[in-house]
Chains A and B, each alone.
Chain A
Amino acid sequence: EIVLTQSPATLSLSPGERATLSCRASQSVSRYLAWYQQKPGQAPRLLIYDTSNRATGIPARFSGSGSGTDFTLTISSLEPEDFAIYYCMQRSNWPPLTFGGGTKVEIK
């Protein structure tokens, strides 16, 4: 099973600042990594698939990069609605598909 480790667990930032979230895989997942956003009381929403492709309707301030075992989600300038929990997920080697433990982006 591929283990995904996200860091940091919590990121405290102000609106307008840049957010950089990390996801590290226990073995290579090639580029088969996605990012999801979850707000309180809501289902997760797909942001990025296959490392760097934005899902439909996702603003350009969200971008993804990486390959192999190290991946990054960047939010170029935080909007108030971006404060949420972010999860990475790999589809390279299944079953199982696996998720990271999440990074909470909170208002500083």
Chain B
Amino acid sequence: EVQLVESGGGLVQPGRSLRLSCAASGFSFDDYAMHWVRQVPGKGLEWVAGINWNSGSIGYTASVKGRFTISRDNAKNSLYLQMNSLRGEDTALYYCTKDFGPEVGTTDFWGQGTLVTVSS
């Protein structure tokens, strides 16, 4: 059974940093691209970042480029999102998602999310 368990969310002040983690199980992690997608409670979905199977292809949405870094450790079956210079508009539920295949494309499975609140 595919499982994605996010952690690392919480309350953080503007300008500070936070690192999200996603522990994956139930599938061959290093065969699949992975993503982070966020959702402000009560609002729509926003893709944040994606990484292919071997970290050779990475992309970000414009609003986080230069502030956020997606990475993965295939030996640990883990995905990460390092978030720096956080802003109020980064407040959201952050989902770790699995792709269909090794390159960035359609996400086919989602974790339950970890909530990030940026506020003073």
B73-120, CB < 8 A from A = 95, 100, 104-113
CA distance A99 to B45 in the complex (A): 6
| B112 to A, closest residue via Cβ | A43
| B113 to A, closest residue via Cβ | A43
Chain B hits for A34, CB < 8 A: 106
Contact residue among A49, A87, A95 (Cβ-Cβ distance under 8 Å from B108): A49
Chain B hits for A96, CB < 8 A: 47, 59-62
A102 touches B44 (CB 8 A): yes
Residue A69 lies at the interface, judged by CB distance under 8 Å to chain B: no
B interface residues, tally (CB under 8 Å)? 22
Residue B35 lies at the interface, judged by CB distance under 8 Å to chain A: yes
A interface residues, tally (CB under 8 Å)? 24
Q: Give the Cβ gap from A40 to chain B, nearest Cβ, in Å.
A: 10
Q: Give the Cβ gap from A51 to chain B, nearest Cβ, in Å.
A: 11
Contact residue among A32, A46, A102 (Cβ-Cβ distance under 8 Å from B107): A46
| B35 to A, closest residue via Cβ | A97
CA distance A101 to B111 in the complex (A): 21
A48-71, CB < 8 A from B = 49-50, 55
A95 touches B60 (CB 8 A): yes
Chain B hits for A16, CB < 8 A: none
CA distance A95 to B57 in the complex (A): 10
CB within 8 Å for A50 and B110 given contacts A1-B62, A96-B59? no
Interface residues of chain A, those whose CB is within 8 Å of chain B, are 1, 32, 34, 36, 38, 43-46, 49-50, 55, 87, 89, 91, 94-102
A-B contact pairs, 6 of them (CB 8 A): A36-B45, A44-B110, A46-B106, A87-B45, A89-B47, A99-B45
